[in-house]
């Protein structure tokens, strides 16, 4: 797409001065290296905001959606950042309205998200889980019929900052398998949990596969090879060819299999949702949001203190190479701080072109 075409496409939604600034930036301030480009965060945000406007995202939800996917990008989780935003934005216009609770009993609730945009639906589910935890000591919320989101960590961190133990997980189509199997039969089943520490929460956000499926999809679009030992072909053999790969490999052998299976059950049969091969679309994919109030209704306040002591103990661990122990969440947080300080993102050029197309109203360009 040339500068004039992009400018004309955005003219209806972006001020002329902003268009001129972005045109100048595109010509003078991009550094290409290994197929990637350094782009100012502010300019990426502008394009994402315009994309949301063109996709009909309610004005009050735009910042939430943009911030969510930028979080993944600034954490270095590119498959869950701008690239995923570009993909998911195709479906933003399919939202039917705000989520509603359709079933509840004590700490339990089930939400029909009504095809709401993923980050907006997740934010709603977090609030419902927290509300039930304040009343019942725990909130255990299942959600279905929602669009997807990116990383899980902001939802558990939101719960941790409110004083809760937060756990979030979701399933997917049967896109993963285990060693020795040829047939994919589990979702990729990511999980995140977070706890308060009195400072920054301790946050874990992980897939239960060796590599997320987003890596496969993006490698197919952009070209290149897959990481070794992460994906298998139809015969169950490992492959690095994105066009031969049919499923992701669950990590950790039988132990990883057992963890993925637990997530499958919590995001499936616990709430009466489909599981495995029965999950055949975005709309019948299950999500779970769990908040636990460790204060016993405000009577205790030592949960954050205990967690802070645990973090300190991990930071004091002696290692063989003398380097600090890698503590969950710390590397992502440090990466994000460095990126924000620089004011720039390193984005694959094909992803940036896709984002430009979205901002110009083209939701089919790949």
> Mind giving me the DSSP string for 160-205?
HHTTSEEEEEE--SS-EE-TT--S--B----EEEEE--SSSPEEEE
pLDDT given at position 46:
98
Take residue 190 and report the two structure tokens written for it: 């990511």
Q: Tell me the Cα Rg of the chain.
A: 21
pLDDT given at position 21:
42
Q: What is the pLDDT of residues 52-90, one digit of tens each?
A: 999 999 999 999 999 999 999 999 999 999 999 999 999
pLDDT given at position 175:
95
pLDDT given at position 327:
97
Residues 6+ apart with CB under 8 A from 201: 156, 157, 160, 161, 194, 195, 329
Q: What is the pLDDT of residues 101-147, one digit of tens each?
A: 999 999 999 999 999 999 999 999 999 999 999 999 999 999 999 99
Closest C-alpha to 49, from 78, 89, 81: 89
pLDDT given at position 34:
62
Closest C-alpha to 242, from 270, 217, 272: 217
Query: Which of the residues in the chain have pLDDT under 50?
Result: 1-32
pLDDT given at position 298:
82
pLDDT given at position 198:
94
pLDDT given at position 1:
42
Take residue 225 and report the two structure tokens written for it: 């090879």
Q: What is the pTM of this model?
A: 0.89
Residues 6+ apart with CB under 8 A from 347: 36, 37, 39, 44, 73, 78, 82, 355
Pairing of the two strands 191-195 and 247-249: unpaired
> Mind giving me the DSSP string for 238-307?
B---TTT--EEEBSSHHHHHHHHHHHHHHTTGGGT---GGG--SGGG--EEEEEE-TTTTTT---HHHHH
What count of other Cβ atoms lies within 10 Å of the Cβ of residue 320?
5
Task: Please state the length of the chain.
Answer: 366
pLDDT given at position 9:
42
């Amino acid at each position: 797409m040339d500068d004039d075409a992009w400018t004309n496409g955005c003219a209806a939604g972006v001020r002329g001065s902003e268009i001129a600034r972005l045109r100048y930036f595109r010509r003078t301030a991009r550094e290409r290296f290994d197929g990637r480009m350094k782009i100012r965060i502010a300019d990426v945000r502008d394009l994402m905001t315009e994309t949301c406007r063109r996709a009909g995202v309610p004005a009050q939800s735009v910042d939430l959606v943009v911030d969510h996917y930028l979080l993944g990008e600034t954490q270095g989780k590119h498959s869950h950042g701008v690239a995923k935003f570009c993909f998911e934005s195709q479906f933003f216009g399919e939202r039917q309205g705000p989520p509603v609770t359709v079933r509840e009993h004590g700490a339990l609730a089930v939400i029909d998200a009504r095809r709401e945009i993923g980050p907006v639906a997740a934010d709603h589910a977090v609030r419902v889980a927290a509300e039930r935890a304040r009343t019942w000591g725990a909130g255990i919320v299942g959600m279905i019929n929602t669009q997807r989101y990116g990383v899980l960590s902001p939802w558990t961190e939101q719960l941790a900052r409110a004083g809760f133990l937060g756990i979030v997980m979701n399933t997917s189509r049967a896109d993963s398998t285990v060693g020795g199997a040829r047939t994919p039969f589990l979702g990729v089943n990511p999980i995140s949990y977070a706890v308060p520490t009195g400072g920054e929460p301790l946050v874990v956000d992980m897939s239960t596969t060796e590599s997320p499926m987003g890596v496969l999809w993006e490698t197919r679009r952009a070209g290149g090879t897959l990481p070794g030992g992460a994906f298998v072909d139809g015969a169950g053999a490992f492959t690095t060819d994105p066009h031969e790969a049919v499923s992701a490999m669950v990590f950790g052998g039988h132990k990883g299999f057992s963890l993925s299976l637990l997530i499958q059950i919590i995001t499936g049969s616990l709430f009466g949702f489909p599981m495995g091969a029965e999950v055949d679309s975005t709309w019948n994919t299950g999500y779970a949001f769990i908040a636990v109030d460790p204060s016993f209704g405000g009577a205790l306040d030592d949960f954050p203190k205990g967690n802070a002591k645990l973090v300190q103990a991990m930071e004091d661990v002696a290692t063989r190479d003398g380097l600090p122990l890698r503590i969950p969440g710390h590397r992502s947080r440090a990466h994000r701080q460095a990126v924000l300080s620089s004011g720039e993102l390193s984005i694959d050029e094909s992803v940036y072109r896709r984002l430009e197309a979205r901002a110009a109203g083209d939701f089919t360009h790949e």
